[in-house]
């Protein structure tokens, strides 16, 4: 066992990453062809970035605000997303098979909001993921949580199955209520996820030191949007995250709970793919909203 008396916090996160080897995603050039092809359906090969539309919330929250009717709220947004993060139930019932987007399939679940959320199990077989032509599989990891080891085991099991089938795994770092959301915590959670095999990691943006989270993680990071805030603020967070090394956003509530979801998604695309500043993106949002 490692000597726990000498756990020194890392301090040197500087310098550009030099491991791309011609593939557009950090740390993925050594992967099999099929896995890289699937990643290329999530991240645009033109700039290595992604705007994922997350609407998998129903797998533990039921019909939350903005997702009461997936056919009405989500279908009109599909053309503007690079990838769709959803459950197999939403996919089979609501999303047309000719949508042309990378599908990031929710692959863990179990407890509802009424129970201990970290008590998840794997909830999709690899055969069904292949049948659904999933571009990636998403699994929750609860580093520091009550079911930390179980959730990491879920992830490594899925990575083993995914590697065999050529399907990348997205580790979603879930933060428990009593966990401190700071750069130190997210460096730990994202790095553990990448070291144990995730091809990309979803985490939250933090104001202080987010660039150390992205630089210490050897695979791409996408940020969750989090709870609904003013559009301008959500665009500012997306902008800062991209400036500080994120490879994209996986945004849900800040899109589908906006009064103008399509305009918001366009503005987010402007930030992620076109380098718009938060002010420029907000102008675009306002123009498209009217």
Catalytic residues: 202
User: Judged by CB under 6 A, which of 91, 175, 189, 251 binds ligand 5RP?
Assistant: 251
User: Judged by CB under 6 A, which of 205, 250, 272, 284 binds ligand 5RP?
Assistant: 250
d(Cα 20, Cα 204) in Å, to the nearest integer?
24
201 — phi, psi (to 5°)? -130, 140
175/215 with CB nearer ligand 5RP: 175
169/224 with CB nearer ligand 5RP: 224
Minimum CB distance to ligand 5RP, residue 3 (Å)? 35
Of the candidate spans 68-76, 90-98, 249-257, 278-286, the one that interacts with ligand 5RP by CB under 6 A turns out to be 249-257
Provide the pairing of β-strand 248-251 with 169-173.
unpaired
For the chain, the farthest-separated pair of C-alpha atoms sits apart, in whole angstroms, at: 61
Q: Buried (b) or exposed (e) across 80-98, using 16+ Cβ within 10 A?
A: bbbbbbbbbebbeebbeee
d(Cα 263, Cα 284) in Å, to the nearest integer?
8
Question: What DSSP letter does each residue of 93-155 carry, written as one string?
Answer: HHS-TT--SEEEEE-EE---TTS-TT--EE-S-HHHHHHTT-SEEEEEE-TTSTTHHHHHHHH
User: Judged by CB under 6 A, which of 27, 102, 225, 278 binds ligand 5RP?
Assistant: 225
User: Judged by CB under 6 A, which of 39, 42, 143, 224 binds ligand 5RP?
Assistant: 224
226 touches ligand 5RP (CB under 6 A): yes
43/205 with CB nearer ligand 5RP: 205
117 touches ligand 5RP (CB under 6 A): no
CB contact at 8 A, 136 and 155: no
Q: How many residues bind ligand 5RP (CB under 6 A)?
A: 14
CB contact at 8 A, 190 and 170: no
141 touches ligand 5RP (CB under 6 A): no
85 touches ligand 5RP (CB under 6 A): yes
34 — phi, psi (to 5°)? -65, -40
Minimum CB distance to ligand 5RP, residue 5 (Å)? 35
253 touches ligand 5RP (CB under 6 A): yes
120 touches ligand 5RP (CB under 6 A): no
| Per-residue binder mask for ligand 5RP (CB under 6 A), 159-178, x = binder | -------------x-x----
Q: Sign (positive/negative) of CA torsion 21, 24, 28, 30? A: negative
Applying CB under 6 A, the residues found at the interface with ligand 5RP are: 54, 56-57, 85, 172, 174, 224-226, 250-254
């Amino acid at each position: 066992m490692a000597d726990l008396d000498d756990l020194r916090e890392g301090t040197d996160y500087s310098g550009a990453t030099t491991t791309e080897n011609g593939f557009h995603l950090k740390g993925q050039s050594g992967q099999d062809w099929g896995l890289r092809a699937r990643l290329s359906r999530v991240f645009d090969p033109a700039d290595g970035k992604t705007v994922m539309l997350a609407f998998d919330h129903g797998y533990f929250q039921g019909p939350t605000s903005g997702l009461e009717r997936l056919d009405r709220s989500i279908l009109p947004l599909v053309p503007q997303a690079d990838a769709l993060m959803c459950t197999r139930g939403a996919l089979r019932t609501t999303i047309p098979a000719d949508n042309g987007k990378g599908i990031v399939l929710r692959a863990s679940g179990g407890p509802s909001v009424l129970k201990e959320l970290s008590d998840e199990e794997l909830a999709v077989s690899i055969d069904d993921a292949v049948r659904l032509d999933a571009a990636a599989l998403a699994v929750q990891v609860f580093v520091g949580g009550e079911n930390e080891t179980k959730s990491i085991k879920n992830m490594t099991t899925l990575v083993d199955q995914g590697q065999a089938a050529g399907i990348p795994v997205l580790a979603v770092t879930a933060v428990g209520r009593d966990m401190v959301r700071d750069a130190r915590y997210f460096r730990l959670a994202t790095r553990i996820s990448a070291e144990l095999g995730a091809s990309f990691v979803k985490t939250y943006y933090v104001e202080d030191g987010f660039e150390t989270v992205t630089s210490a993680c050897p695979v791409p990071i996408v940020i969750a949007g989090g709870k609904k805030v003013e559009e301008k603020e959500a665009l500012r967070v997306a902008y800062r995250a991209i400036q500080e090394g994120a490879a994209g956003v996986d945004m849900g509530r800040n899109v589908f709970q906006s009064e103008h979801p399509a305009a918001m998604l366009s503005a987010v695309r402007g930030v992620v793919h076109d380098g718009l500043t938060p002010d420029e993106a907000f102008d675009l949002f306002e123009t498209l909203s009217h």
